Amino acid sequence: MRWNAVLKDLKGDMGILSLSGSQETVAIPIEYLPKGLKIGDVIRFNISFDPFATLACLNGGQAE
């Protein structure tokens, strides 16, 4: 799954992102955003499911 978001604001240590095609916003800690990101910049998210990490967590391990 992949989508874009626009950095709308910086509040404290959080970046406020507006998701493309939606009225919703998401707050993400600045430390997880690309360095040098400015208000108005577009970032792309790529999200995938990792069944092996899921099994590791279920068996008492940690996801990486």
pLDDT digit string (tens) for the chain, length 64 residues: 888 999 999 999 999 999 998 889 999 999 999 999 999 999 999 999 999 989 988 988 766 6
Tokens 């626009």: give the residue: 6
pLDDT at 60: 82
**What is the C-alpha separation between 4 and 8, in angstroms, rounded?**
13
Q: Which domain holds residue 25?
A: 2-58
Cα–Cα nearest to 8, from 39, 36, 33, 34: 39
Kindly list the distances between the CA atom of residue 26 and the CA atoms of 8, 14, 15, 50, 53, in Å, as whole numbers in the listed order: 10, 10, 8, 23, 25
Residue 34 lies in a domain: yes
How much is the pTM? 0.74
Residue 28 burial class via C-beta count within 10 angstroms: exposed 0-12, middle 13-18, buried 19 and up: middle
pLDDT at 22: 86
Indicate the number of domains in the chain. 1
Tell me, what CATH number does 22's domain have? Answer: 2.40.50
Residue 64 lies in a domain: no
